[in-house]
Amino acid sequence: MILKTKQLSKSFGGLKAINKVDFELPKNEIRGIIGPNGSGKSTFFNLVSGIYDSDPGSYIEFDGHDITFTPPHEIASYGLSRTFQLLRLYQDMTVIDNVMSGYHTRVPYKFFDAVIGRKKIWDQERAIKEEMMELLSFVGLADYAELNASELSGGQRRLLVLARAIAMKPKLLMLDEPAAGLSPVNVDNLMKIIMQLKEKYGLTLIIIEHILKVVMDTCNSVTVFDHGQKIAEGTPAQVKDDNAVIEAYLGKKMDDEEMRKALAV
């Protein structure tokens, strides 16, 4: 198990955004998370990556570390990387700087060496830059490396955010709606790149996605959230036919008798 949560809860005032979720994820799996808007998917991500503190009684374990109350930068240093729904691109930095800042946890030299500006620093910086340029050309952004990130198109931004999250060579990559707002062709392209990256780096993936085709085609297993609770889990085929899931998305299934009663009142 690379990620495990027990009784994970988070409430904002009276609203229980996440309510006692037990979640387990084995290594090398691609897990999809689906659910209606406001069902707590993004909150779940924020709790796991440490951006929100979870309520007392929760327990999160990542790769053998108890990360329940660990600050986000330490969680990242254990090898958990994530993207954001609203991208959070570093707009005023160049594309290559964006990706290189994702490398931060792996930077080998110490601060003091950087102040003195020793030769080995510049060698290492060049090595990092070369590696990141390779990554950029892998996602197809090498030509834009020196432009500002704000000058990229929507699809390119999605790719850049993905590259930035990969740069730290994570063990677990959590993607928050990676394909939102992309055209069908671009979605296919993006999913292809994600699958290639998974093979290349041996990633475990969690993907939040509203495009069900993506989830059904690529994920090994799917977890469904509704009102902060986990309502179903299983293979895509199992989840598709689950009554609780259909209810959450489409409403309750009624037989004729019930329908008549409901309409009469």
Partner 1 sequence: MEKFKILIRNYPFIAFIIAFCILALVPSVIFTDVYQSHLATLIFVNIVVAAGLNIVKGFCGQVTVGHVGLFAVGSYTAGTLFLYLGLGFWVTLPIAIIVTAFFGVAMGIPSFRLEGPYLALATLGGGEAIRLFIENGNFFRSTFGISDIPTPSLMGYNFDSPDRYYFISMTIMIIAVYFSFSILRSGVGRAFMSIREDPICAAAAGINVKKYKILAFILSAMFAGAAGAVYAHMPPGYIHPNNYTVIEMVTFLAMVVLGGLGHIWGGIIGAIVITIVYDLTRPLYKYQLLIFGLTIVLTILFMPKGLGGFIDRYFLEKRFKKKTGTEKTT
In angstroms, what is the minimal distance from the CB of 106 to partner 1?
9
Pick from 76, 173, 206, 245 the residue near partner 1 by CB under 8 A: 76
Biggest distance spanned by C-alpha atoms of the chain: 83
Q: Does 81 bind partner 1 (CB under 8 A)?
A: yes
Stretch that binds partner 1, among 53-61, 142-150, 190-198, 223-231 (CB under 8 A): 142-150
**Residue 201 interacts with partner 1 (CB under 8 A)?**
no
Q: Which of 23, 44, 62, 90 binds partner 1 (CB under 8 A)?
A: 90
154 scored as a contact of partner 1 (CB under 8 A): no
Q: Which residues pair with 232 in a beta bridge?
A: 224
Q: Is 130 in the site for partner 1 (CB under 8 A)?
A: no
Q: Could you say whether residue 127 binds partner 1 (CB under 8 A)? A: no
Q: Which residues bind partner 1 (CB under 8 A)?
A: 49-51, 71-73, 76-77, 81-82, 84, 88-93, 97, 100-105, 107, 109, 111, 114-117, 119, 121-123, 125, 143, 146-147, 151, 164-165, 168
